[in-house]
Amino acid sequence: MPTPVPRSVTSSGPPDLSHVERLRENVSRVFFGPSHVVDRLLACLLARGHALIEDVPGVGKTLLATALARSLGVSFSRVQLTPDLLPADVLGVSILDRQSGEFRFRTGPIFANVVLADEVNRTTPRTQSALLEAMSERTVSIEGQQHELPQPFLLIATQNPATFEGTYPLPENQLDRFLMRLAVGYPSRDREMQVLAERPSDYALHELEPVLNAAEIDALQRATDAVRLDETLRRYIVELAESTRAHEELAVGASPRATLALAAAARATALLDDRDYCIPEDITDNLVHVWAHRVVGHRFLAGSQAREHEAIVTEIAHRVPSPA
Q: What is the pLDDT of residues 24-43, one digit of tens each?
A: 999 998 998 888 999 999 99
* pTM assigned to the model: 0.88
Residue 95 CA to residue 180 CA, distance in Å, equals 36
Pairing verdict, β 154-159 and 114-118: parallel
Mean pLDDT of 277-282: 96
Q: Which has the closest alpha carbon to 130: 92, 159, 83, 87? A: 87
Q: Label residue 299 by pLDDT band (50, 70, 90).
A: low
Mean pLDDT of 150-176: 85
Tens of pLDDT, residue by residue over 53-73, are 988 888 889 999 999 999 999
> Does 12 have pLDDT greater than 60?
no
Residues contacting 205, CB < 8 A, separation 6+:
30, 63, 66, 67, 70
Q: Which has the closest alpha carbon to 114: 32, 38, 213? A: 213
Residue 118 CA to residue 55 CA, distance in Å, equals 12
